[in-house]
Amino acid sequence: MYASPGRMVLLIRMREGDLGYQTERGPRQAFEGPLGTTPTYDAAACADATANWANETWTVDKPAAELWTYFMNDTCRPTDDPSQSCTLGNYGVYVITAESQGHVKAGIDFARENNLRLIVRNTRHVFIGRSTGWGALVINTHSFQDLVFSTEYTGPGNYTGGTNAQDPPVLVMTGECPTVGVAGSLVQGGGHGPLTPLYGMVADTALAFDVVTADGEFLRANSEENPDLFWALMGGGPSSYGIVLSATFKTFPETKAASVIVNINSTLTNDTDVFWEGVRSFHKYSNTFVDAGLYAYFELATLRLHIAPFVGAGKTSAEMGAILKPSLFSSTGHLWDAGHSTPVSNSATHPRFRNSTDFAVVTLPVPVGTTWAQKEDLQNVLTNIQDAAMREAGPHGCAYVNEGDPYQPDWQDHFWGLEYPKLLEIRQKWDPNGVFYAIATPGTEKWEVIEYGTRLCRKT
């Protein structure tokens, strides 16, 4: 992903005020405050914001919008009441829509020299609010979207030989959701997806990165140039060592894949014992499914277990059906072509991921208008009751840095295990002054957010 140099950057300062924030604009208009605000009433714009408020694709194209409005303190939501107040909340104070290496360097230098909290934002597909911060300077890298396919790769890395051109079609390791930024938090946090059983984590397929570091230096990181930085960028924590402008990944030959959808619900019975027996049956065979190369997302709620997609990359429908026998499924179907290879790992991801079967995410719904005290109480329930029960059930497990609880005790071990001391050393080398900040990443134990989740301060 490469940017075209020479285009002007937009640096905006937003000030709290009425419904529309005053802005100091650069050479072109790109942002007018929090999503849903406008200086004057515009019925069409309001209708568009209301209709698309939950549309992820629409949201990620906005310079400062967030997919998870909880971390914005739910400010400036669509409303039928024009007199309702709209405050800045946890939106960044400055936003740079970066379109070149120079724009990124200027933003880093400005934040470092003015002691500003610096946030890196790509697609904002972040479950724990890392792409926002009260009072921050935000560098938005979403404009870096160019894709270049090479027929040969001669640089260093875990892969040598020819690469697969776009024609014939190829496979690239990505996440399951289309709003995931491959060169952003996905690879820098490790990255899992439907092809993980075949090729490992997304970080395992990285060959090189172009990076702007905390001191504003542009450099290449691969297995020969700046190898420590290269290793850390492969799963060692997002937005921690530099801002990635481009990344080079392996591709894989296109081939077959099959999938099924499984639903266990209370259509025929409300007997909870029967339901949980079905859930136990699914998890009983988890190791069998993983060893067979299957990958599944599952959602567990009251009297409902929904498994979709249940993917067998490199499998036919018949092969998929044979693995899942005996079954109650009426049909299976092809989703996309996959391939087969043996994962080679030299990344910073937690080693326990290699032998993991289940990765569970627990969520608690938080109503709009919840007070700060209520949010603290819910976070305590999530961390010290629900998550604690999972840690007790799997004492030798691990957590995924992009989707795990950043407030859990000993997050360093849960996210990286024995890799953490090396990652901390690399962080101190490349960002000794803490220019970058992303919660629960190497080195951030030296910092704390105070005053009701607002000010970021160095611990004393």
Would you kindly state where each structural domain of the chain is located, as residue ranges?
11-140, 152-252, 257-338, 364-396
What's the pLDDT at 208?
93
Q: What is the DSSP string of 166-234?
A: SSS-EE----SSTT--IIIIIHHT----TTHHHH--GGGGEEEEEEE-TTS-EEEESSSSSHHHHHHHT
**What residue type is assigned to position 220 of the chain?**
R
The residue to which tokens 């990165």 are assigned: 209
Residue 246, beta-bridge partner list: 210
- Give 335-362 pLDDT, tens digit per residue: 333 333 344 567 888 888 777 777 777 8
How far is Cα 136 from Cα 447, in angstroms, rounded to an integer?
15
Nearest to 87 by CA among 120, 121, 134: 134
Residue 300, beta-bridge partner list: 305
The residue to which tokens 């697609």 are assigned: 123
* Residue numbers of the chain with a pLDDT score lower than 70: 1-39, 64, 151-155, 157-168, 268, 326-345
> Which numeric CATH code is attached to 257-338?
3.30.70
Residue 265, beta-bridge partner list: 304
Residue 285, beta-bridge partner list: none
pTM of the model: 0.81
What's the pLDDT at 90?
81
- 296 phi and psi, to 5 degrees? -145, 145
CATH class for domain 152-252? alpha beta
Q: 333 near 217, Cβ under 8 Å? A: no
Query: What is the CATH architecture assignment of 11-140?
Result: 2-Layer Sandwich (3.30)
How far is Cα 147 from Cα 417, in angstroms, rounded to an integer?
34
Q: 121 near 133, Cβ under 8 Å? A: no
